[in-house]
Amino acid sequence: DTAVSQTPKYLVTQMGNDKSIKCEQNLGHDTMYWYKQDSKKFLKIMFSYNNKELIINETVPNRFSPKSPDKAHLNLHINSLELGDSAVYFCASSQVFRPSSYEQYFGPGTRLTVT
């Protein structure tokens, strides 16, 4: 059983389109995250939800909107895609948010290419 799953694995789309990435975890964790990893491999946290409540909202364009229908799911919707949005997006989860001593489990990633 996959602990953290994401769909789709690859996403190729044109500038200006709107797209969504879905994430599900079956670990029973309370906290989920979205990360963006650029071509230089830097991991940048974008959002974090704890029990469906937004707790981290880093400086991210408001074209990115997360949504957590329940604590096992965290989706990411992106409007008006731009070339600079091309990256790998990782979903992750951890048992709780505080204390932050619990390890994070990452999904396989979604490689987004905007042309």
Partner 1 sequence: GQQVMQIPQYQHVQEGEDFTTYCNSSTTLSNIQWYKQRPGGHPVFLIQLVKSGEVKKQKRLTFQFGEAKKNSSLHITATQTTDVGTYFCAGPPDSNYQLIWGAGTKLIIKP
Nearer to partner 1, 14 or 40 (CB): 40
Nearer to partner 1, 18 or 98 (CB): 98
Contact positions toward partner 1, by CB under 8 A? 40-45, 48, 56, 90, 92, 97-101, 103-109
Minimum CB separation from partner 1 for residue 10, in Å?
Answer: 12
d(CA 91, CA 108) in angstroms, rounded, equals: 8
**Among the listed residues 52, 83, 51, the one whose alpha carbon sits nearest the alpha carbon of residue 66:** 52
- In order of 17, 19, 41, 73, 113, the CA distances from 48 in angstroms are 24, 19, 20, 12, 23
Minimum CB separation from partner 1 for residue 15, in Å?
Answer: 26
